[in-house]
């Protein structure tokens, strides 16, 4: 496969500095289907960077023909990578304005709808092409008027992906099992993604709150379908998902090469790459609603000691951890039991065992929506 490497500069925010996005592209830019993959949007989350490194090596080997096109951005956030504070990369939020680099992506569904109103017809493929053209045109216009490199970065990443059939945004949690966030509108047709990835947790929501990158690309199709109704066919033309590659410490060649192979076989199954991917694996665990994810928080400061391992199935009321205050006069009183509030899998927890009040100490993927779980369903 022929790979073209391009560099797209970001607007400088100080004198004498320059940053750019490096993009690796395979195939004819007009070929379909198109897959777009990026890593490091939360800059300190490194597993995805190494996975794309191995995927590039695999694609360069050319063992199978390319049927569509693939666009890869191994480092999607050079801004966050530059934010160093005493040896620690502050890559999740902007030091300039405090915003989360995976939030506040523009919602352009209404603008797209206005542009294509009266032009859509009875053919779904024609409608998809019209919507994608409008999507790209609107993003290009907004990028030309963007103020600051953060806004420009968001719009540029969306421009790379707005005409893609498949979008995978590679992240990781703190200390976690493999898990995937996906739009409910794509289910169950898209069950092949977590199946090939071997993900034990798949959580579904069309709108998780906060406008993350993946939903900025998938949700417009749902919004446009709701706007125009049954009068014109508008499919969910973009499978966009956030893929959480376990935890921050799960970085290594062997694991990354295995994950790259799983993504490669998924792309084969979806017709982006030729060759035989083998049968679709069995989904490790049924998908659950994102509104059913319990975010367990610490009531007080202290040291957390977990009673159950990652990946454990727990039931409501089951003790999952103890919160310990080593300064308590009576050690027996300096220990608080933390229990699960729902049945499900404990799939994420803290690697740093000291916690502050209100800090997330565990996430449990439950099968039923929880009372009060609405609005912003993700952690900050």
Q: Are 239 and 166 in contact (CB under 8 A)?
A: yes
Per-residue pLDDT, averaged over 74-79, amounts to 98
Tokens read off for 375:
């609005």
- The CA distance from 60 to 345, in Å, is 38
**Percentage of residues of the chain with pLDDT beyond 70:** 100
The whole-number average pLDDT for the span 117-123 is 97
Q: State both tokens at 320.
A: 């999952």
Q: Where are the domains of the chain?
A: 3-286, 290-366
**Residue 259: is its pLDDT beyond 90?**
yes
Strand order in the sheet with 335-339: 335-339, 319-324, 302-306, 354-355
Residue 106 CA: distances (Å) to CA of 143, 158, 215, 234: 11, 9, 10, 21
Backbone angles phi, psi at 113, to 5 degrees: -60, -40
Within 8 A by CB and 6+ apart from 335, the residues are 322, 323, 324, 325, 328
Q: Give tens-digit pLDDT for 178-189.
A: 999 999 999 999
Q: What is the pLDDT of residues 201-228, one digit of tens each?
A: 999 999 999 999 999 999 999 999 999 9
- Predicted TM-score (pTM) above 0.95: yes
Considering the four listed CATH numbers 3.40.630.10, 3.40.720.10, 3.90.1010.10, 3.40.190.10, the one that applies to the domain covering 3-286 is 3.40.630.10
CATH class belonging to 290-366: mainly beta
């Amino acid at each position: 496969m022929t790979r073209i490497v391009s560099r797209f500069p970001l607007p400088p925010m100080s004198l004498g500095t320059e940053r750019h996005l490096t993009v690796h592209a395979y195939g004819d830019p007009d070929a379909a289907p198109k897959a777009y993959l990026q890593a490091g949007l939360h800059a300190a989350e490194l597993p995805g960077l190494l996975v794309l490194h191995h995927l590039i090596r695999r694609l360069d080997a050319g063992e199978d023909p390319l049927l569509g096109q693939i666009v890869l951005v191994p480092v999607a956030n050079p801004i966050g990578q530059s934010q160093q504070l005493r040896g620690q990369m502050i890559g999740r939020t902007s030091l300039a304005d405090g915003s989360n680099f995976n939030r506040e992506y523009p919602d352009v569904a209404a603008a797209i709808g206005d542009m294509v109103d009266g032009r859509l017809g009875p053919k779904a493929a024609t409608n998809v092409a019209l919507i994608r053209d409008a999507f790209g045109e609107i993003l290009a216009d907004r990028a030309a008027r963007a103020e600051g490199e953060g806004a420009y970065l968001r719009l540029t990443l969306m421009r790379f992906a707005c005409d893609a059939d498949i979008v995978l945004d590679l992240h990781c949690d703190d200390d976690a099992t493999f898990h995937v966030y996906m739009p409910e509108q794509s289910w169950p047709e898209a069950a092949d993604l977590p199946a090939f990835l071997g993900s034990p947790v798949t959580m579904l929501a069309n709108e998780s709150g906060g406008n993350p990158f993946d939903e900025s690309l998938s949700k417009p199709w749902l919004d446009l379908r709701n706007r125009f109704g049954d009068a014109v066919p508008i499919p969910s033309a973009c499978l966009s998902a956030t893929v959480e590659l376990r935890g921050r410490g799960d970085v290594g060649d062997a694991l990354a090469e295995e994950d790259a192979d799983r993504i490669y076989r998924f792309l084969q199954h979806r017709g982006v790459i030729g060759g035989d991917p083998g049968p679709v694996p069995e989904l490790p665990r049924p998908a659950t609603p994102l509104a059913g994810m319990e975010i367990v928080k610490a009531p007080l400061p202290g040291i957390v000691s977990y009673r159950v391992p990652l990946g454990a199935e727990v039931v409501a009321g089951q003790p999952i951890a103890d919160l310990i205050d080593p300064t308590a006069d009576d050690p027996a009183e300096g220990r608080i039991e933390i229990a699960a509030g729902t049945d499900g899998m404990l799939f994420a927890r803290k690697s740093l065992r000291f916690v502050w009040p209100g800090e997330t100490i565990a996430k449990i993927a439950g099968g039923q929506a929880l009372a009060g779980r609405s609005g912003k369903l993700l952690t900050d």
